[in-house]
Amino acid sequence: MRLRSASRFVLLGTMIAVSAHAAERKPKAKVKVQAVASAPLSARERASQFLDRFTFGVRPGEVEKLVAAGPDGPDKWFEQQLKPAAIPDGDLERRLRDYPTLNMTSPQVLATFPDRGTITRIADGKAQPPTDPQLAAVYEVQLYKLQLERDAKRTAQLNAAAAAPAGTVDPQKEIDKATASRIAGQLFSLPKGERMKALLALPVADRAAFTLNVAGQQKTTLMADFTPREREYFNCMAAGVGPSYLALNELTQARILRDILSERQLQAVMADFWFNHFNIYAPKDSDQWYTTAYERDVIRKNALGKFSDLLMATATSPAMLVYLDNWLSIGPNSPANGGNNANGKRGNRGLNENYAREVMELHTLSVNGGYSQADVTSLAAVLTGWSVDHPELAGPYLFDPKKHEPGPKQWLGQTIPAGEADEGTTALKALAASPKTAHFIAWKLAQRFLADDPPAPAVDRIAQTYMSTDGDIRAMLRTLVQSPEFNSRKYFRNKVKTPVEFVASTFRTTATDPTNPGVIVQSIDRMGMGLYRALPPTGYYITADKWMNTGALLDRLNFALMLTAGKFGGQRFDSSRLLALGLMSQPAGTTPSTIASRASVKAAPLNGAPSAAKVREVRISQRTSDSEMEDAATPGITAATGASSVATGTGAELALSVLETTLVGGEVSAQTNGLILQQLHQSASAGAANSASTLDMLTALVLGAPEFQLR
């Protein structure tokens, strides 16, 4: 069963969004809420709290596993997660082999996916092509395409006078398509391991025509049979001149796979947190080839270490120096700006204050950190010379003394002695050691893991831990999870998921294997959170006012419906399997009768839709063990088949109850539940009901419900 029209689709999403906004407003009234605000979490709730906060989604059965481990089960799990190197992650590592650039240095990334500047320099004789014969053959296609562009520009004016009528088929395109078809036949006649070698041996025009025009099942089969490195060769030849963006394609796909599949979930969550804190915009200039190393060697490597190490690593990263333009900053009196000229003339270059401002405002002290514009200017002078050695060639960090502003500097009420690169090191260490930095980092952590408006006592405790441990991130996280706030119902499922959290949690909670990560990345981008593409240095906002609105919920509901309907880039989705997993992972002591009673209580009629409980009488055997529950003769639903006769009535109610417990971790509101049942009733009345499609729709509507948007 599918929603029968887009208008009904939008209406349902809008109603759900309205209920979400109403739920958001209720706590502000503080009516009877304070009486239970500090109530402790139950064992099951506490397990859910750890998993909701420190993973990208709770997989079926994970809560039950932590509960079964005893009262300290969540704490033991958390301590294991704090040591990611000790956690096997073989399944993810095998999947990431499809992306060779993940383990490359920045120069290797640039060599694999060259930018237009690299191809142009080679074409103009200012640089040499690669010596590797296979890579050189790939570059030949890029050079060939650049030459075609140049030839087209030279003849553009002549061709304009005799332009072909609109709609005329370009004969060359037809020739190229025929060439691609011919070459495909030749390649498929060869063993898989010899196809790329044969392709690279073709004339360059044939290589260009084939990679651009092969399509459909031929391309799908060919790409599946290539090695990961061969797929990179193919994609580089198929792209336009300067395919450096392909490195980011690999990085973003690997990122979403890591979020969904990694067993090292805390490290993945903290890498997301710190990348957003020390944000860079990956498409900017040479950051296209620097971002992979930045995420791997700077952010993820230090995500659970000392804040001072993380700060220093970001400050000396070419990615950060390029993003915030510090590599362009030159001291007004430096040798590079004519400071040693005997005639006293100076150049017209000078300080760039971008990094100096953001490192205090966004990375350490905060916007209210007590510094002045004069302090920004002084820190910019301190950091002159912190540069990059030829970023267009993917060079490393370099301190250039010729760019450095000479002499001591007054900054934040202290004197920074003249010392070239040591000046910047001194300043950054001072920032990392500041109590204001401790408070700001504590506030950011509490905002991510406790509440949009974090409680001051929790922030203060985390800040104290920062100061007493020299900014130890693990210690701060321990303080956070041991706080009474983290373990109270007031801060339970009160954080709205960002788009990446929503999408990743959809795959994790439904136990769906992400077979098309490229399409997943595109969906996250459409929701407004392109990976590594936050342009401002603030990164993405993580508060409810940004992501909980009608438009955002409609996007998420559409995503869920496309995914469950099997219309998501070839991605398989099995709602019957999900239902079976849900039945097997119900809370301890759950029986078919408790599921039925839970469902009937929630099945209140809405706007004329009859309660499904009145359509069919519930008759359920009283069985208590897990195996009995799986085989229970529950009307409309069995674990053996996943779904049976759930199109309407009690079967749908039971399935909905199981899905809500599995996906949300608890019950949804009566309003949300009523809206879902109303939609099923309308579809059934229209004659569109069948068990499989109903189960798909139920899953999608629970995923689109406001309760699923919370963690």
pLDDT, tens only, 313-356: 999 999 999 999 999 999 999 999 987 665 555 555 789 999 99
The per-residue pLDDT for 168 is 61
* 138-152, 541-555, 657-671: the lowest-pLDDT one: 657-671
Arithmetic mean of pLDDT, 135-152: 96
In angstroms, rounded to a whole number, what is the distance separating the alpha carbons of residues 255 and 172? 39
**Cβ 248 vs Cβ 283: under 8 Å:** yes
| Predicted pLDDT at 677 | 80
Average pLDDT of every residue of the chain = 87
Least confident span in 75-84, 450-459, 594-603, 651-660 = 594-603
- The pLDDT of residue 690 is 63
Q: What is the pLDDT of residue 666?
A: 77
Give the β-pairing of 386-388 and 409-411.
Answer: unpaired
Q: For residues 602, 604, 610 and 615, what is the CA-based torsion angle, rounded to 10 degrees?
A: 40
> For 166-175, 235-244, 292-301, 513-522, which range has the lowest pLDDT when averaged over its residues?
166-175
Q: How many Cβ atoms sit within 10 Å of the Cβ of residue 85? A: 8
More confident residue, 169 or 661: 661
| pLDDT (0 to 100) of residue 589 | 65
Residue 398: pLDDT band (50, 70, 90) is very high
d(CA 379, CA 359): 10
Determine the average pLDDT of the residues in 430-444. Answer: 99
Q: What is the pLDDT of residues 44-92, one digit of tens each?
A: 999 999 999 999 999 999 999 999 999 999 999 999 999 999 999 999 9
Residue 649 has pLDDT above 50, yes or no: yes
Q: What is the pLDDT of residue 131?
A: 96
As a whole number of angstroms, the distance between CA 90 and CA 600 comes to: 43
Sequence-distant (6+) residues with CB within 8 A of 70 are none
Q: How far apart are CA 673 and CA 677, in angstroms?
A: 6
The answer for 601, left when phi > 0, alpha when psi is -120 to 50, beta otherwise, is: alpha
Asked if pLDDT for residue 502 goes beyond 70, the answer is yes
DSSP-assigned beta bridge partners for residue 398: 387
CB 350 within 8 A of CB 328: no
Mean pLDDT computed over 401-418 = 97
How far apart, in whole angstroms, are the C-alpha atoms of residue 663 and residue 667?
10
The torsion angles phi and psi of 351, rounded to 5 degrees, stand at -70, 145
* Banded pLDDT at 651 (limits 50, 70, 90): confident
Which of 499, 509, 512 is CA-nearest to residue 556?
499
pLDDT, position 310: 99
Please state the three-class secondary structure of 237-249 as a single string: HHCCCCCCHHHHH
Nearest to 430 by CA among 462, 479, 480, 382: 382
Say how far apart CA 62 and CA 34 lie, in whole Å.
31
Would you say residue 265 has pLDDT above 80? Answer: yes
Residue 444 has pLDDT above 60, yes or no: yes
205-241, pLDDT tens digit by residue? 999 999 999 999 999 999 999 999 999 999 999 999 9
Least confident of 21-35, 164-178, 265-279: 21-35
Give the pLDDT mean for 168-180.
83
Region 16-29: what's the mean pLDDT? 43
pLDDT at 616: 30
- Helix-then-strand count for the chain, H and E: 36, 4
Predicted pLDDT of residue 593: 62
Query: How far is the C-alpha of 285 from the C-alpha of 279, rounded, in Å?
Result: 15
Q: Is the pLDDT of residue 396 over 50?
A: yes
Give the contacts of 75 (CB within 8 A, at least 6 positions apart): 481
What is the pLDDT, as a whole number, of residue 346? 56
The answer to whether 636 and 649 are in contact (CB under 8 A) is: yes
Say which range, 413-417, 645-649, 672-676, has the weakest mean pLDDT. 645-649
pLDDT score at 246: 98
Decide the pairing of beta strands 397-399 and 409-411.
Answer: unpaired
For the stretch 694-707, pLDDT in tens is: 889 899 999 998 89
H/E stretch holding 388: strand 386-388
Split at pLDDT 50, 70, 90, the class of 31 is: very low
